[in-house]
Amino acid sequence: MHKHNHTVGAAFSASFQDSIHVQHYEINIDSLNFQQQKLWASTKLTFESKVDGLSAVKLSLDGFTVDSVLSAAGNQLNFNYDNLNLNIDLLSVLNENATDTVEVFYRGTPAQDDSWGGFYWSGLSFAFNMGVGFDEDPHVFGRAWFPCLDVFTDRSAYDFHIKVTDNYQAFCNGELTSIENHGNGTKNYHWFLEQPIPTYLASMAVAEYEFVEETHGGIPVTWAAVAQDTSAVSGTFQHMTEAVDVFTSSYGPYQWNKIGYALVPFNAGAMEHASSIHIGRPFVDGTLAYESLWVHELSHMWWGDLVTCKDQENMWLNEGFASYSEALFIEQMYGEEEYKDWIREYHRDVLQFAHVKDGDYYAMNDVPHSATYGTTVYDKGPQVIHTLRNFMGDSLFFEACRTYMDTLAFGNANSHDLRDIFAASAAIDLNPFFDGWVFQPGFPHWQIDSYTATPIFDAYNVELVLRQKQRGNNHTYGMKVPINFTDGSENHDVLVDMNQEVQTFNVTCPFEPKMVTIDRWETMSDAIADFEKEITSTGTQTFNQTNVSINVSETGSGTSIVRIEDHFIAPDGFAGTNPGIALNPYHYWSVDGLFADGFESNATFKFNGTTNTSQGYMDNDLIIGTEDSLVFLYRQSVGTEWQEVNSYELLTGTSVTNKIGTVRIDTLKKGEYVLGRRDFTASTSDLAQLANPAFAYPNPNTGVFNVSLPNGIWTLEMFSLNGKKIKQWQVSTGNEISAVDVAKGQYIIRATKGKQTLSQSVIIR
């Protein structure tokens, strides 16, 4: 089998595509030799010049022997072929908009990508293509089996004439217009596709097929399957009508003449050739186990086929939306909670592994060649779309999807086109959203530093201090951040416009809130994986995608709400002198909720310092030695110091060097938790500072603090978070200090007397 690893440069993808547009391909497969894995063929291209003075055309054809090239009149044309680039001299010079035809006669073994895609043979049973090459550059891979202008942006109509022996059938894009029996043991299948497509979406599959034909949602559906596979079709595709209904209502009318699936011997997925999807036989097994795969490919008939990305850097417009369509189908078919589970699972995977698997954090519109078919595109893409949908609201979002399809049907788009069409359709400004979520790598992170509720008439004024951080970028996001207030029986939801690092908001709430939460209803895929449960009984409760479980021993006086968040962001450091402990730079947990009186529970936190892309890459930057150097820390709130948890157990299992284990705390409390690594060279007096109480209070406040310190004269210094000294005082215990002239925000106050040093984080609001 011929394999290759050609790298085709910018000239291939840019220069010559600007000179012609291929209007039509007529592909004639005259002979398929299954034993030799070779084909004999000709392809006739009708093209239009896009420039004046065109005297030659350049096509791509990978690894064949070219026997001749003819003009429309049958004249021999001069050509040069280097096993990939086919340069053809025209008989006459063409000016802009003039058309011409060339026919290329060729033979040989079709190309196959080293990784995924190209043309495949399976014994004497199957011959078929998969239209992209994962290692190819560009990834479009029509050139694997016919000469073409192999780019994403050139769309053409197709005629396929596939000659086979009488025991075979051919399945291609479009409509089967005729089967011509030659009377000599061979026959010719003629398929015609009127709607224009790029080369990578053209397809052929030949086998001893039987055609299973049905109608779903008013659309003809044809499956090409060998006899032993036909019985599995109905079970695997039993929800075809529902899928068609979801996508036509969400994205607009189905624009192709049929829905087609050819079952092929391929164990690495499927390929979305327009109206003729090729899906691996193992994935059609009569069950629903691989339902998401065929649903994903069906959605490509809109996202990728009807409107195609302009370049591979914007592949998320094809694959990200197709992946999100899986979730959309699940939501409509199985319910909202199943949809949320899908979003949560992929969200966690993206936060933990996307930058590892793809090699870095990448913006959605600028993934490199190596990550075109990677985790950022396939898995982060739907997270961005989930967030966009909630940002816009369902009505505006789906109307924008339909407008996008209608505006650009049988055309191409990049991320800016998507933004502009969605913004115009919804009449809203999407620039801040796209500037952060699409055009920047990484993720935003928001947290509540503090809140204070003050009664006003029959409501409460809630003053919120919010802080923004980032994972994988340093961009300050402009976003309407959803805030939920609850007292356990009522909920109040608001949106606040967050566009700075630290902001204070005053919000009216009709009741006194007992819990205030950012994005409680999971509308944003930010740098937090979270899960919330109502607890009504004792026993173990697992908080999905957070690596935390609890074991409730007492439920107390009623129902409790427990919320666990795993923050994929570095925790705040020690407010004071670091006592010889390194905090995990990658993530920390927070616990919140409404605990009933008498509620008691322990909790177990998993850690994994391996570099395994199924469970690891969480604590690998922290755990560099044995696990018995680990320490578990807690702080009640942003304004308090990290302290070692009073009672916990470090469970390392059978090994203290495999970097895998759990931390079990006896009492679950609301606050923040982080895994640390103790440096045993630190003095015990330094370590004791972890237990020092706060000395400046109340905290937070408007800038006037009472000071409670041991006897003596102390020097107090206030620093910004970047280390700039703001103010200084000389005080003794019981004194008051004023910083009312200091801007609102978070600061560090350091108290020193001789060799004694204390530090505390404070917030001025």
Question: Tell me, what's the pLDDT at 747?
Answer: 82
Please spell the DSSP secondary structure of 331-377, one letter per residue: HHHH-HHHHHHHHHHHHHHIIIIIHHHHSS---TT---GGGTTSHII
CA atoms within 13 A on the CB side of 244: 19
Interval 97-112 mean pLDDT: 98
Question: Tell me, what's the pLDDT at 465?
Answer: 97
395 contact partners, CB below 8 Å, separation of at least 6: none
Block residue for tokens 């392809």: 43
> Residue 682: pLDDT above 70?
no
Q: Where residue 684 falls among pLDDT bands split at 50, 70, 90?
A: very low
Coarse DSSP helix, strand, coil percentages of the chain, rounded to the nearest 5 percent:
20, 40, 35
Question: Tell me, what's the pLDDT at 98?
Answer: 98
692 contact partners, CB below 8 Å, separation of at least 6: 576, 641, 758
> Residue 206: pLDDT above 60?
yes
Interval 643-670 mean pLDDT: 93
Residue 138 is given by DSSP the state S
Q: Is the pLDDT higher at 575 or at 560?
A: 560
Q: What is the pLDDT of residues 557-570, one digit of tens each?
A: 999 999 999 999 99
By percentage, how much of the chain surpasses pLDDT 90? Answer: 83
Q: Which residues on neighbouring strands pair with residue 256, listed in sequence order? A: none
Question: Tell me, what's the pLDDT at 1?
Answer: 26
> Residue 375: pLDDT above 50?
yes
Domains of the chain: 3-207 (2.60.40.1730), 307-441 (1.10.390.10), 457-522 (2.60.40), 527-692 (2.60.220), 693-764 (2.60.40.3080)
Q: How far apart, in whole angstroms, are the C-alpha atoms of residue 338 and residue 342?
A: 6
Q: By three-state DSSP, how is residue 101 classified?
A: strand
Question: Tell me, what's the pLDDT at 756?
Answer: 66
Give the chain's length. Answer: 765
Q: Which residues on neighbouring strands pair with residue 515, listed in sequence order? A: 486
Helix H or strand E segment including 433: helix 431-437
> Residue 709: pLDDT above 90?
no
Q: Which residues on neighbouring strands pair with residue 663, listed in sequence order? A: 605, 650
CA dihedral 665, 669, 674, 677 (to 10 degrees): -40
Q: Is the pLDDT higher at 655 or at 303?
A: 303
Interval 262-283 mean pLDDT: 99
Residue 765 is given by DSSP the state -
Q: Where residue 680 falls among pLDDT bands split at 50, 70, 90?
A: very low
Q: Where residue 688 falls among pLDDT bands split at 50, 70, 90?
A: very low
Give the range among 6-10, 133-137, 311-315 with minimum mean pLDDT.
6-10
CB atoms under 10 Å from CB of 188, counted, come to 17
Q: How far apart, in whole angstroms, are the C-alpha atoms of residue 262 and residue 280?
A: 8
- Contact in structure between 530 and 565 (CB atoms under 8 Å): yes
Q: How far apart, in whole angstroms, are the C-alpha atoms of residue 468 and residue 446?
A: 5
- Angle (CA) 694-697-701 rounded to 5° is 130
CA dihedral 341, 342, 346, 349 (to 10 degrees): 40
731 contact partners, CB below 8 Å, separation of at least 6: 707, 709, 713, 714, 716, 737
Question: How, if at all, do strands 307-309 and 411-413 pair?
Answer: parallel
> Residue 396: pLDDT above 80?
yes
Question: Tell me, what's the pLDDT at 757?
Answer: 65
Task: Please choose, from the candidates 434, 426, 430, 445, the residue with its C-alpha nearest in 3D space to the C-alpha of residue 502.
Answer: 445
Where are the alpha helices (H) located in 192-311, listed in sequence order?
230-236, 240-251, 291-299
User: Measuring CA to CA, how many Å separate 208 from each of 39, 79, 112, 235, 279?
Assistant: 18, 38, 22, 21, 16
Interval 74-83 mean pLDDT: 98
Q: What is the pLDDT of residues 158-177, one digit of tens each?
A: 999 999 999 999 999 999 99
Q: How far apart, in whole angstroms, are the C-alpha atoms of residue 327 and residue 389?
A: 12
Residue 132 is given by DSSP the state B
Q: Work out the end-to-end distance of the chain between its first and last CA atoms, rounded to an integer number of angstroms.
A: 70
Please spell the DSSP secondary structure of 697-738, one letter per residue: ESSSBSSEEEE--SSS-EEEEEE-TTS-EEEEEEE-TT-EEE
CB atoms under 10 Å from CB of 263, counted, come to 30
Q: Which residues on neighbouring strands pair with residue 745, listed in sequence order? A: 764
Question: Tell me, what's the pLDDT at 577?
Answer: 80
Q: What is the pLDDT of residues 522-551, one digit of tens each?
A: 999 999 999 999 999 999 999 999 999 999
Interval 317-324 mean pLDDT: 99
